[in-house]
Structure formats: structure tokens, C-alpha cells
Amino acid sequence: MSTDAAPAAPAAGADEPPAVQLRGITKRFPGVVANHDIDLSVRRGTIHAIVGENGAGKSTLMKTLYGMHRPDSGEILIDGDRIVFHSPQQAISAGIGMVHQHFMLADNFTVLENIVLGAEKLHGIGAAAARRIRELSRQYGLGVDPEALVEDLGVGDRQRVEILKVLYRGARVLILDEPTAVLVPQEVDELFENLRQLTREGLTVIFISHKLHEVLAVADAITVIRRGTTVAAVDPGEVTPRQLAALMVGSELPSPEARESTVTDVPVLAVAGLSVRTAGGRSLVEDVSFTIHRGEVVGIAGVEGNGQAELIEAIMGMRPSTGRVTLDGVDVSERGTRKRREAGLGYIPADRHRQGLLLDAPLWENRMLGHQTEAPNARGWLLNNRGARRDTERIVAEYDVRTPGADVPAAALSGGNQQKLIVGREMSHTPKVLLAAHPTRGVDIGAQAAIWEHIKRARREGMGVLLISADLDELIGLSDTLKVIFRGRFVAEADPAAVTPEQLGLAMTGCG
């Protein structure tokens, strides 16, 4: 690749074909249409944002563009030429590179090995390749050492490795799928600077996001996707965040705000001096103490990986920890997860596939999960299959779980419906305290509003909630008290009525 040879883009005349053009792209999966009639035109040398809600079909579209699957109809034009991609390999050789939302890196490989994989023909896999990587790294100020082992790298570095991977292959069009999801605000700024540097060199960036402020800050052009199709192409200079949001959602944004306080002064969960360490002795959560009262939502803000997940798992008794956990006056520190659940802890896991469901089991067995010792699922040490089945039908109706019946496996449901089932299941046992980790992650807007409503209702009825979320608006809107976690410690406390997402973001990086 030679960056010098690339035409200095924005100035190139209007008759120049777009770097990327999609016409009428439609993609179906068994049972669903993920994309239909997508139209998109991206000018060379620009940062083009594609915005849409979670589940609007952005990622499906980008997989199409990257050749990971083929569209059922429609066409892709690169630099004006119609191209059919059968594999990512072809997309790569057409100059398209993808930086995935979840890093696609082999931890046990070096940076070099990760970068040259699949592109060995360019500069081999040895010294020449390492030289080329250093060169690119210097040119774009990425600061990546080819000999480092990826598992030793931090998040920002890993992302730069991903970008290098793409540049190394001579990509002229970079697709970044939700690149800021895992970054703290300062890292986001660095990333944006890197991206502007890339477009100055004549490259084109397609930037996928649902974060409006970021999109407006960095994009040269914006395309909005809603329910699988393109609904608008707008100029960031001529649109307000409010208008953009309305385009994305198709209606008013639902508000997570909790309104009047229902906080009482009856403590229901008290955590004192809780610490979690790895087997190797590294500290993950350090001396955390807090109290949740009846009717109170305590929100924990933090960049992912700062100990939130470990904290929740420790409170659930799934992870060895030191310190004391008192639930409604009873010390449960020595109890296992089951006893804690029976004592009134509810749990909405961050990753429902990993911790919340048995995907291949029918819904009614999933309804038992986590409460297999309690009515209506069990009588003594025997299961009550009939009772569970009947109660599942109730949950399906009350929580609007869209399913043909209680006998289908959980895997057949959409993410939002799976989540509604989990929420319904946990609420059905009227927990004293609900530990909710990213309760609306990856669910559609309707389900999101419903889940918020259920949490608010339970809170009114006196439930305490520990809420973790990456969505700062959700966190601020639902919480009565906000705590900021950084490197396993509570570093700040905020009043959700007064704090802004920006202030919170700053505190989350340890600068607050």
C-alpha cells in the first residue's frame, strides 16, 4: 500500500464516484429480515457515520459489506465498480477493512502474528513484516510494538492493533463497528484524532455507532438506519442531537427517569469491606462498602473491566471474596449462591447467554433456572414441572414475551424476549434486592422501556436495586444514588439529579 498514491480526496470533483455505494441491499435470515432496501453512498476521504439503535441492523449491513455473508438482493459498488463479495478475503483485496466491535485477536499470539495472519504474502511473517508494522505504526502515530504478546496489551492498544491489521492490508476504506464502546472518553479522543489522520491521508472511514454526541463530533456525513433500512442521510452541521435521535428511534426517546424518590431508610443490602482477588493474588475489587435501602436504586458507573462484574458476582456468592454481605439483616457472607438467592437476591446477568439461560432448554425450564428450589418450580426435593410450565405461561403473558409457547427452546427467542423472560422470572420471586447488570443491553427499544418500567415498579414496592450499566443515561435516569468504580474501588459518588454524563465519564477514568 502506498498512502502517497491515494488521491487527496475531499477536493476531488463531484463527478468522482463514491468510495462505497450500496443500492437496495436486502438480507434475510431464517425467520427475520435483517436488512431491506439499504441505500448508502460514502464519499472518499470522509468519516461517514452510520447510526441506529441497537438491533437496527447496522452490524448485519457491515458484515454484508465486508463479505462475511452475501446479500439476498441489491448491489455493492466500490469506486463505482459493481462487486460481489463471496468472502472477507475479496473485500480485503478490494481495499475494505473491518475493525470489529469485539476484537478479533488471538491472545496467545504476538501483535505481529495477529497482523500478518491472512496477509502473509505481503511481507512474509518475519523481519520484513515487523519492519512494515513499525513503519505504519510510526506513520499514523499508533505506537504498537510488533513483538508484544496481545494478552499483555490494554484495550486501547488492542484497538490500534486492529486498525493496524487493516492498514497493513492496504485498506482504503475502514469500517469501525462501535469502536468507542470499550473506550474511556480520553481514549475516544485519541481514536478520533487517529481517524482524522487517516482521512487526511486519503482513506475513508465508515463509523458505526449509536452514540449521537460522538457521531456529531467526528462524522463528515451521517446515514441513519432504523428497523433494518436506511431512513435518512443527513449533514452533521445541519442536525441537532434531538433531531438525530428522533430519526433513529422513529418517535420520542423513552426516558428511563425514575421520577419521585421512593428511598426509605431501611437498609436491605449492606456490603462491608468487600474485596475480590484473582487466584494469582491480583486485586479486582478492593475494600468496597455500601448500603442499599428499601426502594433505592444504587447505580454503579465505570468503564467495563474495572471490577463491576466481579463485585456483582461476589455479592451473588459466585466468586470467592472477603468482607461482609448482609441481606435484610442476615449475614449471608458464608452462604453459597443458592442460599443467597433463596434469601432474596435476584440477578439479571450482563451476559444472558452465559449466565442467564439454558439456550437449548424449553422456556419453562429456563423459568426454573435460578429458582429451582422454590415454588412453583419445586416441592421439596422434587421438581414441579407442571407448576413451572403454568407459571411460565403467566410470565409470557404478563411480561409480553413474544413466543409461540412455553415449550420452545430459549435459543429461538430474540434477545429482547429472552431478557424479558429473565426479568419476569426474577421479579416473580419478589427479590428483596435485584442485582441488575446491563439490564437493557442488546434489547429493542420496546423491551427497554418495559424493563425500565418493571424495575421502577418493583422499586416503588420496596425492592432495592444494584444497577450496573454502560449506558450513562440509563444509569443517571434510574438511580437514586450513583457510585463510580475505578480499578476495583469506589472513587466518587454523584447525585443523579445534578450530574451530567460528561462529568460521570471523567470520574470513570479516575480523573474525577
Partner 1 sequence: MSTVLASAPAAPVAPPPRDRRFSLPILLLVIAGGLVALAAVRAITGANDLTSHGAVRAALQSAVPIGLAGLGGLWAERAGVVNIGLEGQMIFGTWFGAWAGFHWGPWAGVLAAVAGGALGGLLHALATVTFGVDHIISGVAITILAGGATRYLSQLAFQGLPGGGVTQSPPVPELPRLSVPGASVLDRVERAHWFLASDLAGILRGALTDVSTLTIVAALLVPLTFWVLWRTAFGLRLRSVGENPHAAESLGVNVYRYKYYGVVISGALAGLGGAFLSMVASSIYRESQTGGRGYIGLAAMIFGNWRPGGLASGALLFGYTDALQLRGGSQSVHALLLFLAFVLAAVGLWQVLRGRRTVGAVAIGAAVLVGLWYATTDAIPAEFVQAAPHITTLVVLALASQRLRMPAADGQRYRRGG
Partner 2 sequence: MSAPWVRLLPRLLAPVGALLIAAAISSIALLISNQDPATAFSSMIEYGTRPESLVSILNRSIDLYIGGVAVAIGFRMNLFNIGVDGQYRLASLAAASLGAAPFLQWLPGVLRILVIVLIAMVVGAFWAGVAALLKVTRGVSEVISTIMLNFIGGQLVAYLLTTNHLGVQAKGSNDVATPLLPKDSWISGIPLIPDARSEVNGFIVVAVGVGVAYWFVLGRTRFGFDLRASGQNATSAVASGVNARRMVLYAMLLSGAVAGLVGMSQLLGERHAHTTSVGGLGFTAIGIALLGRNSPVGIALAALLWAFLDRSALILDLNEIPKEIVTIMQGTTVLAVVVAYELAERISRRGQQRRAGATVSEPDPRQPSEVPA
- How far is 393 from 424, CA to CA, in rounded Å? 11
Instruction: Return the one option of partner 1, partner 2, none that residue 83 interacts with (CB less than 5 to 8 A, by type).
Output: none
Cβ 341 to partner 2 shortest distance, Å: 5
Q: Would you say 272 and 289 are in contact if contact means Cβ atoms under 8 Å apart?
A: yes
Cβ 388 to partner 1 shortest distance, Å: 19
Q: Would you say 267 and 291 are in contact if contact means Cβ atoms under 8 Å apart?
A: yes
Cβ 56 to partner 2 shortest distance, Å: 7
Residue with smaller CB distance to partner 2, 32 or 266 = 32
Instruction: Return the one option of partner 1, partner 2, none that residue 88 interacts with (CB less than 5 to 8 A, by type).
Output: partner 1
Instruction: Return the one option of partner 2, partner 1, none that residue 32 interacts with (CB less than 5 to 8 A, by type).
Output: partner 2
Instruction: Return the one option of partner 2, partner 1, none that residue 195 interacts with (CB less than 5 to 8 A, by type).
Output: none
Q: Would you say 125 and 113 are in contact if contact means Cβ atoms under 8 Å apart?
A: yes
Cβ 412 to partner 2 shortest distance, Å: 4
- How far is 165 from 501, CA to CA, in rounded Å? 33
Q: What is the DSSP string of 259-317?
A: -S----S-EEEEEEEEEEE-TT--EEEEEEEEEEETT-EEEEE--TTSSHHHHHHHHHT
Residue with smaller CB distance to partner 2, 129 or 309 = 309
| Three-state SS annotation for 358-397 | CCCCEHHHHHHCCCCCCCCCEECCEECHHHHHHHHHHHHH
- How far is 327 from 45, CA to CA, in rounded Å? 57
- How far is 166 from 171, CA to CA, in rounded Å? 6
Alpha-carbon distance values, 492 to 21, 388, 389 (Å): 47, 43, 45
Determine the residue type at 90: Q
**If phi over 0 gives left and psi between -120 and 50 gives alpha, with beta otherwise, what is residue 259?**
left
- How far is 20 from 206, CA to CA, in rounded Å? 10
Residue with smaller CB distance to partner 1, 29 or 331 = 29
Cβ 2 to partner 1 shortest distance, Å: 22
- How far is 40 from 9, CA to CA, in rounded Å? 18
Nearest to 98 by CA among 71, 137, 134, 59: 59
Contact residues: partner 2, CB under 8 A:
27, 29-35, 54-57, 59-60, 69, 227-228, 316, 318, 336-342, 347, 349, 353-361, 365, 368-373, 378, 381-383, 385, 402-405, 407-409, 411-417, 442, 444
Residue with smaller CB distance to partner 2, 69 or 277 = 69
Instruction: Return the one option of partner 2, partner 1, none that residue 105 interacts with (CB less than 5 to 8 A, by type).
Output: partner 1
Longest distance between any two alpha carbons in the chain, whole Å = 78
Determine the residue type at 470: A
Residue with smaller CB distance to partner 2, 361 or 506 = 361
Cβ 413 to partner 2 shortest distance, Å: 6
C-alpha cell at 217: 463530533
**If phi over 0 gives left and psi between -120 and 50 gives alpha, with beta otherwise, what is residue 9?**
alpha
Contact residues: partner 1, CB under 8 A:
68-69, 87-89, 92, 98, 100, 104-109, 113-114, 116-121, 124-125, 151, 165, 278-280, 282, 360
- How far is 86 from 67, CA to CA, in rounded Å? 6
Instruction: Return the one option of partner 1, partner 2, none that residue 259 interacts with (CB less than 5 to 8 A, by type).
Output: none
Cβ 30 to partner 2 shortest distance, Å: 5
**For the chain, what's the residue count?**
512
Residue with smaller CB distance to partner 1, 109 or 192 = 109
Degrees (nearest 5) of the Cα angle 498, 500, 505? 135
Cβ 466 to partner 2 shortest distance, Å: 15
3-state SS class at 137: helix
Residue with smaller CB distance to partner 2, 121 or 354 = 354
Cβ 210 to partner 2 shortest distance, Å: 13
Q: Would you say 134 and 71 are in contact if contact means Cβ atoms under 8 Å apart?
A: no
Cβ 365 to partner 2 shortest distance, Å: 8
- How far is 428 from 209, CA to CA, in rounded Å? 35
Residue with smaller CB distance to partner 2, 378 or 506 = 378
Residue with smaller CB distance to partner 1, 112 or 478 = 112
Residue with smaller CB distance to partner 2, 58 or 172 = 58
Residue with smaller CB distance to partner 1, 360 or 495 = 360
Q: Helix (H) and strand (E) counts for the chain?
A: 18, 22
Degrees (nearest 5) of the Cα angle 480, 511, 101? 80
Instruction: Return the one option of partner 1, partner 2, none that residue 104 interacts with (CB less than 5 to 8 A, by type).
Output: partner 1
Instruction: Return the one option of partner 2, partner 1, none that residue 14 interacts with (CB less than 5 to 8 A, by type).
Output: none
Residue with smaller CB distance to partner 1, 104 or 408 = 104
- How far is 59 from 100, CA to CA, in rounded Å? 9
Cβ 438 to partner 1 shortest distance, Å: 22
Instruction: Return the one option of partner 1, partner 2, none that residue 442 interacts with (CB less than 5 to 8 A, by type).
Output: partner 2
Instruction: Return the one option of partner 1, partner 2, none that residue 318 interacts with (CB less than 5 to 8 A, by type).
Output: partner 2
Cβ 383 to partner 2 shortest distance, Å: 6
Instruction: Return the one option of partner 1, partner 2, none that residue 86 interacts with (CB less than 5 to 8 A, by type).
Output: none
Instruction: Return the one option of partner 2, partner 1, none that residue 415 interacts with (CB less than 5 to 8 A, by type).
Output: partner 2
- How far is 411 from 356, CA to CA, in rounded Å? 12
- How far is 442 from 435, CA to CA, in rounded Å? 18
